[in-house]
Structures are given as structure tokens and as C-alpha cells.
Chain A
Amino acid sequence: MKPALFEYRRAESLDNALELLEEGGVDAKPLAGGQSLVPLLNMRFLRPSRLVDLNGIEGLDRIERENGSVRLGALVRQSALDRSPLVRERCPLLAECVPHIGHFVTRNRGTVGGSIAHADGGAELPVALVALGGTVVTQSRSGRRQLPAQEFFVTHFTTALEPGELVIHTTWPGASSGWGYAFEELAQRHGDFALAIAACALRVEEGRVAEARLCLGAVTDRPTLVDVRLAGRPVDAEAAREAAESARAAVEPVATMHASTEYLRHLTGVLTERAVLRAGRNAAEVAA
């Protein structure tokens, strides 16, 4: 499988990339790590007229602390997250989701911004970002925008990005006292596309949940927050079972050749229950 013809342009800077994209029109595509885009090109599902290679742009590969959050440049490689003490300390949910993203070798090349902009409904990073209530920052020739992650993802492979607009970084709220996190995923084999994902972030105060965010992925067309009605309750087996019930009721997964709708709904419940219980335990450990 070989890609169709395209024109290749290497961007020297962010401004240059935006110029090259605008000049290239609607058929121009930005190329970051290429771990999702290049397979689509090789299979000729996509035939862009121009590829604008972002890999030479300086300054977009930084992992930085920003107030209480962690700011990830769009060109941060997924493998860099694994090795970052800042990510491990400040964003346990993100650290936990990384090993589920593709494989060791694809994470070496795949970028955070690329995964966010590609918006595969089964991808891990978008689910983690929405679960944390993070932000996507974009840049176009007409300016910079800051969007809550929840609003950024529209549906399968579709985001709020306008033509000629690029994701330049994402902001990941950092852990603070009382918060616990858990990321649960099931795939047929490690590194395969997820069958279902449940990510949970919750804050426990005096033994009861003060705030909870539960985000589902892969069984929905985009990262989807579900109200699991945990507020005011202790995180116990009953609360987790009821959360699972809410999650099951919130989705209508599309059956694939590997899994029926019924099975995927069941799985959504199982992963939600596990995520809630483990996030609750983690919150208790942090508090202790």
C-alpha cells in the first residue's frame, strides 16, 4: 500500500505552518507523528493535496507546569509522557493512560496534539483530557482559541478545529488534595483499539464524594461524560454498581465484528465500576 501523490512542505515555524496550510486550501493536511495519518494515506482513505510537516517547529514539544496544571505542547511525543516526572506527579490519570496508547514503538513517534486533533472515538488521550476537564488551545491565522476539551470533540474524527487551524497545546489540570483517579480500558490485545474505556476523576471530602467526573470512550463517538450520581456518597460497592448502571444506560455502542452492542454495554458497566472503586481508593490513599 502506497500513498497517492501529494506535495510535501516542511514548516519552519508555527506561522509558516499556518501560512502553508492556508495556501494549501481545504485539501492540505498537517502531519505530526503520523501514526494515525500515514496508515490512512497508505490505504488511500485520505488523499490530501499537500502535507505540511510540523515536526521541525521548535518549542511545541515542551512539558511545562502552568499554575496548577500541566501544559503539553502539541508535538510532545507520547513516549515522553512516560518518562516525565512532572506528568507522573501532577497527572496520575494521564500517566496511567499512556501505556494503553498503541505500542512502545508507535508512542516514540505519535504526538499528544496529533491524537487530540485526530479525535478517534477510541483513543485514550481525548478521554483522559475530558475526564480531567482539560483545555485545548488552537492557533489559526486569525488568532488563538481556548476550548474546553468537552466542546472540542464533536464526533468520530471530527473536532471544533476550523480549516487552517492547529492544536498548539493542551492543558491538563493537576492533581490536588482529595482527588483520586483511575483509567480502565479493555482491548482484545494490548495496543489494539479499545473496545471500551472508562476514566474516573473524583474528589473525596470527609469520606464522601464532593465531585466526580466519569468519562467513557470507544463505546461512544467522542469522549462522553456521564453523570454517575456519586456526589455526597461514600465510594462503596453499592455506589460503584449504581454508577455502572448509569454508564450502561448512557450508551448505545455500535456492534462490530468483535463485539455485540449488548456485550459492549456490559463491558462499559464493568469498567465504570472498576474505575469508580479504584479512583475512590486512590483518593483515600492520597488523603491518608
Chain B
Amino acid sequence: MNEITVTVNGRHRRELVEPRLLLSDFIRHTLGLTGTHVGCEHGVCGACTVRLDGVAVRSCLVFAVQVDGAELETVEGLAGGGELTPLQAAFREAHALQCGFCTPGILMAAADLLDRDEAPSRAEITELLSGHLCRCTGYEPIVDAIAAASEGKA
């Protein structure tokens, strides 16, 4: 077992992990943060996307032992103090989710995109969403929500 120290949504955590423990399982099982969802476990569905040192990554393709010393943000970190972020509010407004399984991953990826790109085009948003499987919405409302969030910000 390896000891790791990691900052998760602003809180320090020190835990023992087996090297083969996926970051996604560490987040859900060790930390109890079940907002991060696990779909395919081989990097295709995008449901487990979190931010590692600010950058959106698939948590099923990183080992927990690799994030020693890093800063992690999960979907639970978005709505500080119970207030939805503009991106989350735009999702609610645009009906960008139904069952919600894909939503946490998409929110974390879109938050990264919007931090880097003030006004992504619909084509760029669609390209981002190619890495996230959603079986309910048909994606259009999600594109609308991300576009609306970026407009609200500009």
C-alpha cells in the first residue's frame, strides 16, 4: 500500500491506496464522493471525468497512487455553498440532462473548456461532447447549455 496526500475540493485527505486502485474507485469508494460516475472503465464514455490540477481527465485512466500531492476537483466541488455555478444553472435551464448519469463528467470537461476558451464555437462544444456518451438528450440541449454558460460569462 502507498500513502497519498491529495486535496479534494479544497480539503486535504491522506489515504492508503493499493497501486492498481483506479482514481475513479478511489473517489467513489475511498472518499465516498459518488457524484463521479463510472461507466465503461476504459476511457470511452467520459462519465468519470474529474479535474486533476485544473485539467479535465478520465479518472478511470489514472491510478490513485499517481495523484499524490495533486489537487482534485469533482462535481461535488462545483456548487460551493449550495449555489449552482452558471454552467450548472444553464444545464437546468436548457434541460441538458434527463437521467443525469453523464452529467457530472460533462460538467467537469465543459468547465475546463470554458476556463480555457472564453467563447467556444458550437463546433468546438460538439467536439468536446464527442468524448461523452449521453443516451437521453440527443446532445443538442447540452450544446445549448454550454454555449449559454459561455455567453453569460463573456
Contact = CB atoms under 8 A, between A and B. Distances in A.
Contact of B65 (A1, A8, A35): A8
A145 interface: no
B80 to A, nearest CB: 23
Interface in A182-209: 189-191
| B interface, over-half SS | mixed
Contact of A6 (B20, B57, B62, B112): B20
Interface residues of B, number: 28
A53 B66 CA distance: 8
Interface string B38-77: 0001110010010000011110111101100000000000
A106 B20 contact: no
Interface stretch (A36-44, A122-130, A146-154): A36-44
B112 A38 contact: no
A191 B131 CA distance: 7
A288 interface: no
B112 A42 contact: no
A34 B64 CA distance: 13
A161 to B, nearest CB: 22
A102 B42 contact: no
Interface residues of A, number: 31
Name, among A10, A34, A79, A103, the residue most crowded by chain B CB atoms within 10 Å (CB to CB): A103
B42 to A, nearest CB: 4
Interface in A237-270: none
Given A39-B61, A109-B58, A3 B20 contact: yes
A55 interface: yes
Interface of B: 2, 19-20, 22, 25, 41-43, 46, 49, 55-58, 60-63, 65-66, 109, 112-113, 126-128, 130-131
B69 to A, nearest CB: 10
Contacts of A109: 55, 57-58, 61-62
A38 B63 CA distance: 9
Contacts of B109: 104-105
Interface string A191-231: 10000000000000000000000000000000000000000
Contacts, number: 84
Contacts of B60: 38, 42
B130 A191 contact: yes
Interface of A: 1-8, 10, 34-35, 38-39, 41-43, 51, 53, 55, 79, 99, 102-106, 108-109, 189-191
Contact of B56 (A5, A51, A108): A108
A104 B56 contact: yes
B10 to A, nearest CB: 21
Contacts of B65: 8
A99 B124 CA distance: 10
A105 B57 contact: yes
A55 B70 CA distance: 13
B43 A108 contact: no
B55 A108 contact: yes
Contacts of B41: 1-2, 42
Contacts of A6: 19-20
Name, among A4, A41, A53, A108, the residue most crowded by chain B CB atoms within 10 Å (CB to CB): A108
A104 B66 CA distance: 21
B19 A102 contact: no
B58 A106 contact: yes
Contacts of B112: 104-105, 108
A1 B42 contact: yes
B2 A105 contact: no
B127 A190 contact: yes
Contacts of A4: 20
